[in-house]
Chain A
Amino acid sequence: AQSVTQLDSHVSVSEGTPVLLRCNYSSSYSPSLFWYVQHPNKGLQLLLKYTSAATLVKGINGFEAEFKKSETSFHLTKPSAHMSDAAEYFCVVSAPLDEAAGNKLTFGGGTRVLVKP
């Protein structure tokens, strides 16, 4: 079984300051991990993914995340927040389906980011 815990339901930062979104996961398998962003009234957009290559993963819009197996964490960071970063962020673990090939995504509860001018 797999699960994802996002440690903060809301994060508030000032524009130009760093952003840290925390995520811990549990997985029976060697995990594939993702971060998705959801802007209001829009679909989910993939920010970055970890698939057992480099542990430091760079994504779009200046985001990056570090996979730490010993801590079962996959925290998302950005050095300098922009107003456009205000959105909901989801940490996601991918695991094989029991019945057949293919995978399902298990989402964390989400972290809402507010960026203050």
Chain B
Amino acid sequence: ETGVTQTPRHLVMGMTNKKSLKCEQHLGHNAMYWYKQSAKKPLELMFVYNFKEQTENNSVPSRFSPECPNSSHLFLHLHTLQPEDSALYLCASSQGAGVTANTGELFFGEGSRLTVL
């Protein structure tokens, strides 16, 4: 079983749909993240959860709503998205509070490729 699993791998939705992305980590980590990766742009941090508490929201529009019921699961609820939200959404986890200064290692899932029509 891989360390960080994301579902679905591909998602096509209309602008009025409501959908959710799911992430599960099997590494015993305490922190989980959502990143957005668009073509020709660097990875953009969206949300950080540490011990189920949200510690970072990088000015993400409210049409993206994260949920972290426990340290192993993370969801991203999507509602009334725009075509420019089409991207690869990557979930990641790490040990410790956020990312420690020393390790800097994030473990990523394979991503959910989202297309908004």
Q: A and B: real partners?
A: no
Query: Which of A's residues lie within 8 Å of B, judged by CB?
Result: none
